[in-house]
């Protein structure tokens, strides 16, 4: 499994898990229809509480990134990923605004901030193919 958690981080574990699964989908490491480990097995592998894994899976299911099947278990959404919703755009704006403000106060230029945003977007998708299991 490609998941690495930082137990010292300010970011809650469930949110790190959500982020990394979405990053796995973006990079193509996780393909539509791919199975994910069961709640129990992922919790045990990562050494974290089952409720935490459950919270992450539920959020990802609610957002439409995962499906939970009685037979197949948890799989990556096979019927098309969710689009840019109002709620996502709102979250994106809020978080980018906060990062941009801190970057500006710390003296990072608009060009440097834009450049970093672009290159991270590229990184996130251009591992497609490279990170396949």
Give the footprint of its own copies on residues 77-106 (CB under 8 A): 81-85, 88, 92-106
* Torsion angle of C-alpha atoms 50, 56, 61, 66, degrees rounded to 10: -90
CB 57 within 8 Å of CB 74: yes
Least distance CB 40 / its own copies (angstroms): 26
Among 3, 5, 68, 108, binds its own copies (CB under 8 A): 108
Taking alpha carbons only, the member of 53, 106, 97, 57 closest to residue 77 is 57
32 binds its own copies (CB under 8 A): no
CB 129 within 8 A of CB 31: no
Q: How many residues bind its own copies (CB under 8 A)?
A: 43
10 Å Cβ neighbour count for 37?
Answer: 16
Stretch that binds its own copies, among 34-42, 47-55, 66-74, 120-128 (CB under 8 A): 120-128
The reply on whether position 107 binds its own copies by CB under 8 A is yes
Binds its own copies (CB under 8 A): choice among 27, 46, 52, 66 = 27
Decide if residue 5 touches its own copies (CB under 8 A): no
Burial of 70 (0-12, 13-18, 19+ CB in 10 A): exposed
- How far is C-alpha 17 from the chain's CA centre? 7
Interface residues with its own copies (CB under 8 A) are 11, 19, 22-23, 25-27, 65, 81-85, 88, 92-108, 110, 113-114, 116-118, 120-125
């Amino acid at each position: 499994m490609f998941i690495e958690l930082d137990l010292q981080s300010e970011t809650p574990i469930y949110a790190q898990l959500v982020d990394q699964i979405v990053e796995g989908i973006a990079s193509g490491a996780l393909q539509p229809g791919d199975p994910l480990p069961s709640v129990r097995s992922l919790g045990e592998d990562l050494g974290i509480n089952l409720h935490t894994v459950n919270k992450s899976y539920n959020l990802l299911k609610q957002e439409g990134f995962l499906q939970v099947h009685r037979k197949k278990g948890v799989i990556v959404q096979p019927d098309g990923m969710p689009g840019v919703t109002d709620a996502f755009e709102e979250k994106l704006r809020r978080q980018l605004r906060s990062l941009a403000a801190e970057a500006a106060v710390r003296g990072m230029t608009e060009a440097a901030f834009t450049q970093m945003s672009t290159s991270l977007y590229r990184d996130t998708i251009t591992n497609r193919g490279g990170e396949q299991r």
